[in-house]
Structure 1
Amino acid sequence: MTDFLSTTRTFYDAIAEDYSERFRNELADRPLERAVLGLYAELVGAGGKVADLGCGPGRSTGHLSRLGLDIAGLDLSESMLAVARRENPAVPFHQGSMFDLPFADGSLDGVLCWYSSIHTPAAELPRLFTGFRDALAPGGHLLLAFQVGDEPRHYDQPWGHPVAIDFLRRRPEFMEDLLKRSGFTMLSRTVREATGEEKTPHAFLIAERAEASEDAEDTESAE
C-alpha cells in the first residue's frame, strides 16, 4: 500500500472511537454544511446511487441516506467502519481505497469526498479525481469538502495515541482547476469562515461530470 494510504489507515484505526465521540454532533451544529449536503442531495435526485468515499464514522453517509439517496460508504479504516456500521445499520459500508474503487465505471450518480482528500499529496490528486469521474455516469455530481489554506497542519499523538498525520489545506481555485482538467464542470463554490476553534475557512465544491459528448470533444481537441 502507498505510504500515505498506510499512514492514513493506521492513524484513523487508532483514533476512531475518540474521533467519533469528539465530533458526534458536528453536523447538528453546522447548518451551512447541512444546507450544502441538502443542495447536493437535490442535485443528485431521490434514489440516486452515491458513494461516500473516505466516509469515516459515517455521519455524512447517514445524513444523505436520510435525505433519500441510495448511498454506500467506503473507508480505509476498519475501526472507523465499525463505528459507521454501528450508527447506520441500514447503510452498506465497505473497506477499501479511493484509488481502487469497487464501483463499475459510470455506475454512480454521485460521489461525496467529505474532507477525505486532505491526506492525499497534491501530485496524486489528478489520479484521484479521474477515478471519481470514471465512476460517475455522465451528468453525475461530485461534492468535495476541504479546509482552505497553504500550509499543512500536523497532528501528533491525538488523544494520547502514538500516531501522527498531516492535514493538507488547499485553495479552492487550485482544486477547481484540477477538477476541470479531470473532466468536471464546476457548478458551485461555497466558502465559510472559520468558527469556534477552527484555524482556517472551509470550502465546498460541487461539480458535474461532463456529458459523454463533451468528453469526446475534449479528447478530440487534445489530439
Structure 2
Amino acid sequence: MDRTTLSAYDTAAAAFAQDWHDQPPPSDLHAIVDSFFVQGTVADIGCGSGREVAWLAANGFPAQGFDASDGLLAEARRRYPQLSFRHAELPDMDGIAPASFDNVLCETVIMHLEHAAIAPSVRRLLDIAKPGGVLYLSWRVTPDADLRDKQGRLYAAFDAGLVRAELAVAQSLLDEQVVSASSGKTIHRMVVRKAG
C-alpha cells in the first residue's frame, strides 16, 4: 500500500473506524454477497475496522479480516474480539496460501495502491480464491488524475480495463459503476467466479 496512506490509517485509526461505523450499512454490498457468494469461507482483504467481517460472520459466512494497517486491525480486534483479524498487505499478502477461501471480498482498497501494484494485487486476490470461488472487488473512482485527500490518502486514477484484463481468466458475474449506498461515493465493482 502507499506508505502515506498507510500512515494516515495508522495515525487516525479510531476516527476512521468511528466514521465507517456511523455510515449507513452498505445494503448494496450485502445484496451482492447474498446473490453471488458461494457457501463457505470469506477473506475480507482491507477489512478496516471489521464491520463487514462481523456482518459476514453473522450471516452465515465464516470470515477472516486482513489489513495492512496495524492501527485499523487494533480497532477491529477491539470491536469484534471474537473474530479473526490478521496483518496482510497487497500485493503479496504473505501468509495467505493460494486457493484458501471460497470467497474473497476487497471493498474500496486498490485505489490506495501505487499504479504498479494494482495489476499484481488483482491477480493475487483471485489467486487466494478456491477454484469455483467468487471474488468481489471494488474501488473508488477517481477521474483524470491521482489525488490525495486532506488526510493524505492516495486515490489512484486508473481505467477499469486494467482490472478487467487481470480478471479475464475468470467468469464475469457483475461489472458496474455506481454510487455506494454506504459512503455516497462513486465506485466501480466487479464480481467474478474463478475457473473450477
**Aligned residue identity for 2:186:** P
Identity of aligned residues (%): 24
Q: 1:81 offset after TM fit, Å?
A: 0.7
Deviation of the 1:105 alpha carbon: 1.6
- 1:85 counterpart (73, 77, 92): 77
Tell me: CA distance 1:92–1:197, structure 2 relative to 1, closer, same or farther (3 Å). closer
Counterpart residue number, 2:17: 20
Structural RMSD (CA): 2.3
* TM-aligned CA deviation for residue 139 of structure 1: 0.8
Say which structure, 1 or 2, has more relative contact order (CA 8 Å, 6+ apart).
Answer: 2
Partner of 2:109: 116
Aligned ranges 1:195-214 → 2 under 5 Å: 198=184, 201-211=186-196
What secondary structure, in the 3-state scheme, does the structure 1 residue paired with 2:116 have?
Answer: helix
Query: Which of structures 1 and 2 has the bigger CA Rg?
Result: 1
Picking from 166, 169, 177, the partner of 2:165 is 177
Tell me which stretches of 4 or more aligned residues in structure 1 moved more than 3 Å: 169-174, 193-198
Residues 34 and 50 from structure 1, CA distance in 2 versus in 1: closer, same or farther, beyond 3 angstroms? closer
Cross-structure match for 1:221: none
2:29 corresponds to which residue?
33
Q: Number of paired residues?
A: 194
The aligned counterpart of 1:71 is: 63
Answer yes or no: is the 8 Å Cα contact 2:28–2:181 preserved in 1: no
| Cα distance in 1 between the residues matched to 2:70 and 2:171 | 34
TM-score (normalizing by structure 2): 0.86
Which stretches in structure 2 are left out of the alignment for 5+ residues? none
C-alpha contact (below 8 Å) 1:112/1:144 kept by paired residues: yes
CA separation in 1, counterparts of 2:173 and 2:64? 24
Q: Select which of 172, 183, 189 maps to 1:186.
A: 172
If the length of structure 1 is used for normalisation, what is the TM-score?
Answer: 0.77
